[in-house]
Structure 1
């Protein structure tokens, strides 16, 4: 048989411009598909960082210049851009496969059953997105028909409201793309089983009338959590299933709430703090803080471990995030500690545990979430976290000192040197200025928490680009893209929790729970003990931010009923959930530290036992001695 010669692809392309152009077009479309959300997110971040900083500059640097009522229009544009960016970030998070979910049950299933359940979850999420698109379009139509416009710019409100259907259209597209990618190569029977599972789950909502709203809502929510659906969608889909079963509220309420729940200036502090932490966590700022901590306490037994705790306290005042603190410090310190003779399990555990201070010392993203959900002052929450955070840090230092002394772990420096310490402090001055700018700006009455966060993000950009020069356009793009995804996951959680919370309010769930607990005991000490036990259990299985948006509306009325100050209760809740950062199965700090050190999670847990007991002791002090949280707050009144 005669074999025809093979024609090289390059030769074929050279002879056929159409094929070459087609390949180039496909490549271009692929790049656009991969970068579409990222480019818009980065542009949006840069825009509202600039706008909010202009607002602050105009107020204090050029107060005599009125740039067309700059405070009003910059805030309005920033809010609406923030909403668009949040939904774009949610779409990008789906494409990247990033979400907050509970996988401990799903991970124990066979691969086939896991595939089937993932297909069922995708079906529900796609249908929910379709509902948001359909009724979001109706909402835009209503805005156009009633000629509603924004207060500052007289912009048709249909424009900002379009963020909801546009955002969920992108989310739906990414869900379908991910579904196609994930289902390649799976057995047909797994796909059929996934569709059957979806029908079985939704059948009671459609076929059985006269459901109790609370039972349907929490039953579906717990079920979706257990089968590994992202928690944000678990909240939204369980609410939709309950509405289909009970007609408790109109479905057109969903897209309206999706917009109004985040059309809120204080919430914008979250992406700004996240961006500031990411920008400053990977460069010279963290290294200079480590050097200063080493000069201050590195000569003591357990020097590097103490440095990890001290630097976590410093960096907590920049990042507002536990995992970000662990990643920034662990990358540098864990290998150094192991090299100096510390056990790998203890080295990893100390970084993971001290990283939990990141959500207690202000600024703190969980505090912002709690403040928004509870309608309490974020500034008061920030100042209430200072003493508990410092107390936690010192308690961990004391325990670490005695453990290290017993084990014979010492640092390279053998004595304190004032000259070296002052030199390190001067070298770290730009890093030390960050908490001064943030907290000084807020408590000096110069800036709101959101403005302070925006200034911190801009400060990080300026220092990184022009002073330390460890930031370039590529790394800036990567930082802001990452910040967009991380913050969008949180914002989508707030959106869905607001939809979920409407039914909680309608059914008076909080009052029912409060009455039940108060019927068990009227002793404040016992009730606080029960609250702590419940929150610790929640922290074991649920990420902190998700827990805050879900349980705050339920537990806060109970706390108020027994005379607990809402600011104090916020610190109790956040401290409990901070412990959840270092307890499995969720334990996100544990996993970040273990992956950084390439250490088995079991070893980290073993090295963490004494530190965990220390955290529980401090929790008891914070719970039963309110002045630890409220003493500094008293000076604000």
Structure 2
């Protein structure tokens, strides 16, 4: 009962519009004062939590994504994808999903993927007569791949919070990410065929395909070097982020010659701003998790779980339902940092593989990105298109169901996520 009271009170506080980091810090501090009369070593705990080598990867991956966006590398990536798919019914929609898939391996952000690919793809699809809802849905759903296909900011935060291998999480996200992209493509083909939307052109010649590959070479090479180097043991996750940041600079400055000192400074500032926000939320979540531990909330949660006798699968299904509901109102970072400290002891007790659960969690958070009322990708598309929110939501709705199907498959068949890490680690 005390768990429900604490969480409901926190949600009510956050719904007042108070920033997440402030809500977590203030509420956690108030609970500490109520339970033990002082704050204790909270400042030391907060500093220790954010003073982690692994967290350096977040601003570095953020800088890499920003510099690639400003360098207009994505334009060649989208053009190449369309060159290979233009002979298909709905070729632009398929090209959009493929471009989102590759860019997800560069950006690590759903919002950045939706904004960048959407700015290029949506005007093109509308110009060729695509239904608005189809165009919005493809970009909104394709953008969510940004947090499943590595590198992924939420996966890094989950790994740090639960002491789970970042490399293992990244590898575990690749097969589900490819599966999700494939299902999105199939749905786009079916949807365009049913609606009669066709932009079929003559199949590209070998020379045209070769030219497209040459133009998009650097965009495709980026994730291959960064992620391939990490999986081959050449880089750690943090070193891979640093290598990616340097490679992005070299590509945009010396190959594309599309960025200057001003763009580099702006990219660094944006990455720093995003990272500072995440680290402040992480510090606030540390205070909240510290007071929960002092109040023995995780232990009580485990005891209640044992008494309920849900079993491993029952626990996972219940938690996915809880995360889905929370995702309708809270940002993904807050959900990870609020729930992980509470459920970790239960996961250990039930012998749940933390890598598998991490992938399930991220897929669920992807659904949250396109689920109203607080779906970040929905607001992103609203910002770049000025379209009515009802149309954007209607276009995204089928993809929520498809993601639910993928989530169910991952629950029933854990090896979809765990097979690749078991082979490479």
TM-score band, normalised by the shorter chain? over 0.9
Counterpart residue number, 1:286 = 74
Q: Once the 2 structures are TM-superposed, how far is the Cα of residue 418 of structure 1 from its aligned partner?
A: 2.8
Relative to the length of structure 2, the TM-score reads: 0.95
Is it true that 1:544 corresponds to 2:345 in the alignment?
no
- When structure 1 is superposed on structure 2, of 380-389 and 285-294 the one drifting more is 285-294
Counterpart residue number, 1:224 = 13
CA distance in 2, matches of 1:557, 1:373: 12
Is it true that 1:620 corresponds to 2:408 in the alignment?
yes
Counterpart residue number, 2:348 = 560
3-state secondary structure, aligned to 1:261: helix
CA distance in 2, matches of 1:484, 1:433: 25
Contact 1:282 1:328 in 2 (8 A): no
Contact 2:62 2:107 in 1 (8 A): yes
Contact 1:292 1:425 in 2 (8 A): yes
Contact 2:74 2:103 in 1 (8 A): yes
Is it true that 1:398 corresponds to 2:186 in the alignment?
yes
Contact 2:323 2:364 in 1 (8 A): yes
Is it true that 1:609 corresponds to 2:383 in the alignment?
no
Q: Once the 2 structures are TM-superposed, how far is the Cα of residue 258 of structure 1 from its aligned partner?
A: 2.6
Counterpart residue number, 1:272 = 60
1:243 to 22, 32, 36: 32
CA distance in 1, matches of 2:322, 2:203: 46
Is it true that 1:491 corresponds to 2:279 in the alignment?
yes
3-state secondary structure, aligned to 1:631: helix
Is it true that 1:417 corresponds to 2:191 in the alignment?
no
Q: Once the 2 structures are TM-superposed, how far is the Cα of residue 228 of structure 1 from its aligned partner?
A: 1.1
3-state secondary structure, aligned to 2:328: helix
CA distance in 2, matches of 1:558, 1:366: 21
3-state secondary structure, aligned to 1:259: helix
Counterpart residue number, 2:366 = 578
CA distance in 2, matches of 1:427, 1:531: 45
3-state secondary structure, aligned to 1:586: coil
CA distance in 2, matches of 1:296, 1:224: 50
Counterpart residue number, 2:45 = 257
3-state secondary structure, aligned to 1:632: helix
Counterpart residue number, 1:161 = none
3-state secondary structure, aligned to 1:362: coil
Q: Once the 2 structures are TM-superposed, how far is the Cα of residue 564 of structure 1 from its aligned partner?
A: 2.0
CA distance in 1, matches of 2:125, 2:222: 27
Contact 1:214 1:507 in 2 (8 A): no
Counterpart residue number, 2:243 = 455
Residue by residue, what CA displacement relative to the aligned partner does 1:538-567 show, whole Å, maximum 9, x if unpaired? 111111111111111112332333332111
Is it true that 1:303 corresponds to 2:88 in the alignment?
no
Residue by residue, what CA displacement relative to the aligned partner does 1:501-530 show, whole Å, maximum 9, x if unpaired? 111222232232233244334344333221
Residue by residue, what CA displacement relative to the aligned partner does 1:5-64 show, whole Å, maximum 9, x if unpaired? xxxxxxxxxxxxxxxxxxxxxxxxxxxxxxxxxxxxxxxxxxxxxxxxxxxxxxxxxxxx
Q: Once the 2 structures are TM-superposed, how far is the Cα of residue 416 of structure 1 from its aligned partner?
A: 4.2
Q: Which has the higher contact order (CA 8 A, sep 6+)?
A: 2
CA distance in 2, matches of 1:243, 1:293: 54
Superposed CA RMSD in Å reads: 1.8
CA distance in 1, matches of 2:299, 2:94: 45
1:335 to 123, 133, 153: 123
Q: Once the 2 structures are TM-superposed, how far is the Cα of residue 482 of structure 1 from its aligned partner?
A: 1.2
Q: Once the 2 structures are TM-superposed, how far is the Cα of residue 214 of structure 1 from its aligned partner?
A: 6.2
CA distance in 2, matches of 1:219, 1:526: 22
Residue by residue, what CA displacement relative to the aligned partner does 1:178-216 show, whole Å, maximum 9, x if unpaired? xxxxxxxxxxxxxxxxxxxxxxxxxxxxxxxxxx99688
3-state secondary structure, aligned to 2:222: helix
Q: Once the 2 structures are TM-superposed, how far is the Cα of residue 484 of structure 1 from its aligned partner?
A: 1.1
For residues 441-452 of structure 1, the aligned pairs below 5 Å read 441-452=229-240
Q: Structure 1 residues 246 and 593 mapped into 2: Cα distance closer, same or farther (>3 Å)?
A: same
Contact 1:217 1:239 in 2 (8 A): no
Q: Structure 2 unaligned runs (5+)?
A: none
Q: Structure 1 residues 213 and 560 mapped into 2: Cα distance closer, same or farther (>3 Å)?
A: closer
Q: Structure 1 residues 607 and 220 mapped into 2: Cα distance closer, same or farther (>3 Å)?
A: closer
Q: Once the 2 structures are TM-superposed, how far is the Cα of residue 297 of structure 1 from its aligned partner?
A: 1.8
Contact 1:293 1:307 in 2 (8 A): yes
Is it true that 1:369 corresponds to 2:157 in the alignment?
yes
Contact 1:348 1:594 in 2 (8 A): no
CA distance in 1, matches of 2:3, 2:347: 21
1:351 to 117, 131, 139: 139
CA distance in 2, matches of 1:537, 1:287: 36
Contact 1:556 1:569 in 2 (8 A): no
Counterpart residue number, 1:467 = 255
1:431 to 208, 219, 243: 219
CA distance in 2, matches of 1:407, 1:436: 36
Q: Once the 2 structures are TM-superposed, how far is the Cα of residue 325 of structure 1 from its aligned partner?
A: 0.3
Please tell me whether Structure 1 or Structure 2 has the larger radius of gyration of its CA atoms: 1
Counterpart residue number, 1:636 = 424
1:522 to 291, 304, 310: 310
CA distance in 2, matches of 1:319, 1:513: 36
Relative to the length of structure 1, the TM-score reads: 0.64
Q: Structure 1 residues 502 and 353 mapped into 2: Cα distance closer, same or farther (>3 Å)?
A: same
CA distance in 2, matches of 1:539, 1:568: 19
CA distance in 1, matches of 2:406, 2:2: 39
